[in-house]
Structure 1
């Protein structure tokens, strides 16, 4: 992957669950992280006392996060409603020259802030809640 514009990494939500993903408005920063837990199977007979791991056995997860400003009431309301309902909803991350990650996520944090002489900002964190699908671009 060559250098890309940060604004091209998009976080989208399908609030209705009908396959119509809409970009969350006003995101200034976005991030997606993938993690996999390891399962240690090291025992007394492990070669040279080196750790051994059991491939494919750990839990995988992804987290999406973003911060910025809401440019319209609809995107603010959609994210807020999903959070307060503790609902798992379809989200999608579009990563330029890489692909899309689509699947169920739960909004685990929603924070609002603002300076006396500035705009109201928000930060949101989403955690995967099921199998994710990767599609190359």
Structure 2
């Protein structure tokens, strides 16, 4: 499997401009959620580096590292199934972008730390992990946009 080989070498499929079923699923799920597919690729690269079986020490699962409670809320029944994960997580990211009036930094911070923390701090929370996450996703997104 082409993507499996890329993961072994720590390379994201998006960075190499490869076309294939996974990237097609990313593009389809992104478009259905009215998202730029390159933004979704950037989130995936940071969250799981395209590993459909990724499991964080906090319990986040799959390509876009969805937490169990969020997966249940979004109707993601198989979080390790790429299409299920992508469709639910893209809808969630769209919801966050709408909630924060298109402010991508706030939406990404909420994706990482939860909307309650963004609301509580009235901006990107002062958590080092979240601040680094937002910077990394935006840097990769800029790179992918060219």
Classify the TM-score, shorter chain. under 0.3
TM-score of the pair, normalised by structure 1: 0.24
Greater relative contact order (CA < 8 Å, ≥ 6 in sequence): 1
Q: Which has the larger radius of gyration?
A: 1
Question: Which structure carries more helix by proportion?
Answer: 2
Normalized per residue, the structure richer in strand is 1
